[in-house]
Each structure stands twice: as C-alpha cells, then as structure tokens.
Structure 1
Amino acid sequence: MRIVLIGVSHWHTPFYSEPVLDMTDAAIVGVSDPDTARATPLAARAGCPVFADYREMCARLRPDFAFALGRHCDMADEARFLIDSRIPFAIEKPCALNAMQTQDIARRAAGAGVFAAVPLVMRYCPLIATIREIAAGEQIQYLTFKFVGGMVDRYRQQQVQWVTDRAISGGGALLNLGIHHVDLCRLLLGNAELTLTGAMVSNRAAGLTIEDHAVMLMRSGGASCMVETGYLYPAPNSVYDMHYSIRTEKHYFAARDNSTLEIVTDDRQRSTRAMKLTNVFFYPEFVRDTLRRVRDGLPPIADLSDNAAAVTLIEAAYAMSPLRS
C-alpha cells in the first residue's frame, strides 16, 4: 500500500510514520509540509520525496492512502481535497477549526463514500471491553474522566507554537486532549446523544488565547458525565495526571494511573486488571487496524461524524464559558 503523510511538522507524526515504517506490506512514498526542512528527516528514513504542497504530492504520486496532519486551521481544506480526489485517508482530530467545518467535511465524506478515519484512539482501550464484559446488561450511571497533560511550553519545544493560538488551533486542552474522553462518553453510552449541562473553561495558568484547564458536564438519559482536562501538569510529554471513574448498576470501575483498572462490586469484592489506559499507547493499533479496514472494505473505527459530534459539544462548552481576555 502506497502511503503519503501530509503536514508532518505536527508533533504526532511519529505515531503514524513509525508503524508504517515497520510494515512489510505498506510504504511511505511521499511526505509534505509547508516547511520542507521539517519533512526532510522523515523523507530520508522512508527514502521518499518531500513536497511543500500536498496537492502536488497526491497528483504526482497517486497514493492508496493518506495520513493528514498539520495545523488545525488547514485540516478542513486537506479533508475536502482528499474527499474530492477520492483518496482514502485518516486525519488527526479535531480535523478542522470549528464545529461547522467538522460537520461539513463529515457530510462530504459520507456523500462521496470516501473512507475517512479519525484517531479517536481511546476506542481501542481495553477499558471498554472490560466494562461491557463485567457489567453486561447494566446501565451506566456516571462517567468521569480527568486527564491533565503537560504544560504549554512543550509545544514551543516541539516547534508547534500554533497550538497555543486559538485563531489557528481552534481551542486548547479540551479540543486537543478532552475530545478523546468526550468521545469515550458517547461510545460507552451506546452513541447516545449527549446534552451539555455545564462548563468551566479557564486560561488562568498560561494567560493565552486557549484554555489551559476545562471541565465539561454532560447528560444522556439517566447517565451523567464529566470530563476534566488541562495543560497544567509539570511532567514529561505523554505523562498525565489522570483518574477515571465509571459507575454501573452493580459495579464501580476506577483508574488512577495508566496501567491498572480497579473493579469493585456492590458487595465490596475488589479486583484489578492490568491494561493500558492513555491515548498514546493506541496509535500503532489505530494505524494497523485502519489500513486493514481500508483493504477489507470495512468502515473506520471512528469517522468524521464521530469527530463532529465531539467537537460540537466542545464548542458548546466554549460558548457556555468564554475565556476572559
């Protein structure tokens, strides 16, 4: 399978390129970025050309599949081009700058019948299957996800300062990190429609145009959901201050680190299961599974409509609790 990568100055590029470079039945045949110097190291490893313009790259190379990254403000145009070109693709969340753009590209992909995956990678987390196995037939009553990442200086270190500018990124920690857990709430509740009931969004720590801390409260039927996230934790990259809690009719599930799930029954019997619980672990599986789904004619594990649903909720939270300048 001939694969191209678009916008490779994005800090998540290795999450996609490394699994592909390890494959024997897929090859990176081109990479693009407006800053071609940022693309050169990956091109050298892959033995492929570098392009400043992804449109020229796709026209010349005619790839079988594209992984699209880059700045959030450029992503909707990337998606529209790939849809119009009938090139199957996966595009980094949030896929666009705002909810209206996410809804537009979701409609376009569906109408054109183009495979368009979104790496809402927590869908691969064993937490989901564990809850469905142990609490089969039980209604979920409460879902809470706290997931606080590193401070904003990491984006300057990674030379992606645009992430901290709302005009280019569309939002901060809620749009970048919290989207995984908003989607997880939807998935665990059977893709039910969620209603936003409360929000608190703040930029107090860094004083930027994006939020560095946010809390969302949501409801669906009899279930209540809370997502808390931020750029506050002075820790290495991909290390998080996290706590997940899920209450079903007869069980309580809790995770306080990225490797252990606690399970407690109503008669106070406690057990634990070892498992991965943070997003970074699941990108290699996403890459392999997505390419398999394309080959087999199967839909993606998460598509542009799933992304649009999460971004629409997040945008509603921004409207409910606007940042102070």
Structure 2
Amino acid sequence: MNEARFLIIGAAHWHAPWHLRALEAAGARVVAIVDRAPAARSALGAGRAVREYGDVDEALTRHPEAIPIVLTPPRETPAVLERIVEGGTPFVLEKPGTVDAGALAAIVEAVAARRIATAVPFVNRYADFWAELRALGSIKDDWTHAHFRILAGPPGRYVRDGVPWVLSRRDYGGGALRNLGIHAADAVSQLTGSAEVSVRSARTSNRLHGLEVEDFAIAVLETTDARTITIEAGYAMPAENAADKEWRVHGPGWAVSESNGTVTIRDDQGPRSYAGAPSSEQYLAFGRTLADFAVTGRSVAGDVHDLLLAQRIVDQIYAASPRSMVPSSREM
C-alpha cells in the first residue's frame, strides 16, 4: 500500500503536534508544513524531513498528492477551504473550523456537490463510553436524559503559545463553548441522530477570567419528545493540566457514564466500573483513521457535515444565552 501523505496548514495550532505524532505512529507521512510564521513552521517540523511553506497555494500546488489538514484561525479558514475545494482535494478540518455555522454551510454544500471526502477530529467519539452505549443494543434508544461536561484549565496558554485568536470573538466566533463545547455538541448529535433539538435555557459568562469571550457556558436542550440534555463547557479548572470531563446518559433502569477516565455501567446488577482508554489514545486512533481515510475516503471520526450539525447547536446556544459579560481588558 502506498504511503499516506499529508500536509499541515496552521503549524501554530496546539493540536498540530498531536496530529503529526499520531500520523507518524500510524505509518503515514507529513510532507509539508504551512504557516505564515517561520518560527511556528520550524518548531513543528524540527528534526523531520519536511518541507516548509509560508503560502498555502504554493504548498497545495507542489504537493497535490498530500491531504491537507487545516488548522488555521476560523476567520481565515473559509478562504483556505475554498482553494482546497476548488482543486477537488480530500481534506481534514480541525474543529470548530469556522466562526459559526453560516460560514461553514457554503463549504459543506460545495463539498457535497463535488463529492469530496472530508474528516474532522471529533476524537471523543473514540471514548469507551460510546462502545458501552452501543453494547446496550436497541435499549439505548430509550434514553431519557444526558449530560456532557468538558472543562479545561485557564486560557492564558493560548496567548503564550502564539494562538491569541482563540480568545477573540471576531477571529474564533466565541470562547469555551465554541472551542471545547463543540465536542459536547457533536455528542448531542450522535445521541439524538436526526431528532430535532431546541435550546430551553442557556447562560454564558466571562466572570472567571474577564476575557472578551466566555470562559463558561451551560445549556439545557430538549428534543421534541421531551428528552433533556445538559451541556457544560469552560476554562474553569484551576491548573492548565487539569480537566473535568464527563459524558453521561440515562434510560429506564440503566445509566452509562465516562467521568474523568472512569467508565461506569449501572443497571439492576449494580454498578461496574473500569479505566477507559486515556485521551492520548484518542488522537492516536484518529491518526489510524486518517491513514485509512487516505485510502478509502471514509472517516469514522466525523466529517464536515457532522461539524455543521455541531456548529448549529453551538450557534443556537449562543443565540439563547443572555449576554451578561463583564468588560474585558480589551474593551475597557
């Protein structure tokens, strides 16, 4: 089998090294790195035989065999994707992709029209939680309520690491909800399928860090048949290496959860728990998915159509949330 080849567009993104290592572990090769900042390109490609470019067009032209992985700032991403779609090239898009669903919709329409294969790293789909839920068989369809929480540490790391645009409403389209909560929104889509979901209440706040974007968001969603889902997302943990993540779903006589690495199944036999695969394994699994994607054009981790569904849920939450933000240092 020919070696799968990729090029990374957006070397400064904090996920770029994870994708690079995952692809190498899967036997694939990154042939080029693209970023306007030479330091970001050099840092990511250090010690590797990889070409570096400051211009997207030049990289795409010189490496037509490589699949682009797009990690650019969301405000800039549509222009990059238009160039890629124009060439009919399969691509990988880092979430959230664009500043909102409206900016992504035209791209998704063009992708569908040209039947271009895409992949999106919704790596939380690899969590053991989903395998346990599938193991319930048809009983899982009787779920009644669910909760998806994803909290990370302070966002100052984004400024330090050279990606301050993550904390800009204009450049990123929001804060913790757009960044972290996109995983929870995808989980909602995965759980509900084609069922219509509405936002019953929502709240965003920047009280903790005083940024121009929210550092915490919470929402209650409801399906048309009165099933409820809650979402929490935030930069609310006290340390950068701290996290608090829980995916949980309940049904009549059963519950499945994965909370901070521990998977628990509850039913009439009592609770049973075990240690789930670490989050680092999720990115390695995505690397293997991409190696397969290069050959088959299929992605079990989701595609841009799935991303659009998640973006629409995030947009609904923002629209339903009353704006009660304290002035940020940029706005004072």
For residues 202-244 of structure 1, the C-alpha deviation after alignment (integer angstroms, 9 at most, x for no partner) is 111111111000002111234210010101211233x312333
What residue number does 1:296 align with? Answer: 296
Shift of 1:45: 2.7
The counterpart of 1:140, out of the listed 122, 137, 143, is 143
Shift of 1:277: 6.8
Q: Does 1:14 align with 2:17?
A: yes
Q: Quote the Cα distance in structure 1 between the aligned partners of 2:17 and 2:46.
A: 14
Q: Which consecutive residues of structure 1, in runs of 5 or more, have no partner in the other structure?
A: none
For residues 151-189 of structure 1, the C-alpha deviation after alignment (integer angstroms, 9 at most, x for no partner) is 111212222111111111111111111110111121122
SS in 2 for 1:10: coil
Q: Could you tell which deviates more after superposition, 284-293 or 100-109?
A: 284-293
**What amino acid is aligned across from residue 286 of structure 1 in structure 2?**
F
SS in 2 for 1:211: coil
Tell me the number of residue pairs that the alignment of Structure 1 and Structure 2 aligns.
320
For residues 237-275 of structure 1, the C-alpha deviation after alignment (integer angstroms, 9 at most, x for no partner) is 3x31233331012202233322x112211x361211321
Shift of 1:7: 0.7
When normalised by structure 1's length, the TM-score is: 0.92
Q: Quote the Cα distance in structure 2 between the aligned partners of 1:82 and 1:277.
A: 33
What residue number does 2:330 align with? Answer: none
For residues 2-39 of structure 1, the C-alpha deviation after alignment (integer angstroms, 9 at most, x for no partner) is 21110111111011111223344x32111110112210
What residue number does 1:231 align with? Answer: 235
Contact 1:118 1:307 in 2 (8 A): yes
When normalised by structure 2's length, the TM-score is: 0.90
Q: Quote the Cα distance in structure 2 between the aligned partners of 1:256 and 1:124.
A: 14
Q: Quote the Cα distance in structure 1 between the aligned partners of 2:87 and 2:165.
A: 28
When residues 291 and 21 of structure 1 are mapped into structure 2, their CA distance, relative to the original with a 3 A threshold, is: closer
Contact 2:99 2:171 in 1 (8 A): yes
Q: Quote the Cα distance in structure 1 between the aligned partners of 2:34 and 2:264.
A: 44
What residue number does 1:83 align with? Answer: 85
Contact 1:6 1:68 in 2 (8 A): yes
Q: Could you tell which deviates more after superposition, 146-155 or 269-278?
A: 269-278
Shift of 1:289: 0.9
Q: Quote the Cα distance in structure 2 between the aligned partners of 1:23 and 1:127.
A: 24
Shift of 1:68: 0.9
Q: Quote the Cα distance in structure 2 between the aligned partners of 1:163 and 1:151.
A: 13
When residues 180 and 54 of structure 1 are mapped into structure 2, their CA distance, relative to the original with a 3 A threshold, is: same
Shift of 1:281: 3.7
What residue number does 1:244 align with? Answer: 247
**What amino acid is aligned across from residue 307 of structure 1 in structure 2?**
L
What residue number does 1:104 align with? Answer: 106
**How do residues 51-62 of structure 1 correspond to structure 2 at under 5 angstroms?**
51-62=53-64
Shift of 1:85: 1.2
Q: Which consecutive residues of structure 2, in runs of 5 or more, have no partner in the other structure?
A: 328-332
When residues 43 and 269 of structure 1 are mapped into structure 2, their CA distance, relative to the original with a 3 A threshold, is: closer
Shift of 1:299: 5.0
Q: Quote the Cα distance in structure 1 between the aligned partners of 2:26 and 2:149.
A: 35
What residue number does 1:272 align with? Answer: 273
When residues 300 and 109 of structure 1 are mapped into structure 2, their CA distance, relative to the original with a 3 A threshold, is: farther
**What amino acid is aligned across from residue 82 of structure 1 in structure 2?**
I
Q: Does 1:201 align with 2:201?
A: no
The counterpart of 1:262, out of the listed 261, 264, 287, is 264
What residue number does 1:305 align with? Answer: 305
Contact 1:186 1:193 in 2 (8 A): no
Identity of aligned residues (%): 27
SS in 1 for 2:144: strand
The counterpart of 2:219, out of the listed 216, 219, 226, is 216
What residue number does 1:174 align with? Answer: 177
When residues 215 and 66 of structure 1 are mapped into structure 2, their CA distance, relative to the original with a 3 A threshold, is: same
Q: Does 1:152 align with 2:144?
A: no
When residues 295 and 87 of structure 1 are mapped into structure 2, their CA distance, relative to the original with a 3 A threshold, is: same
Question: Which 4+ residue blocks in structure 1 deviate beyond 6 angstroms?
Answer: none
Q: Quote the Cα distance in structure 2 between the aligned partners of 1:192 and 1:52.
A: 44
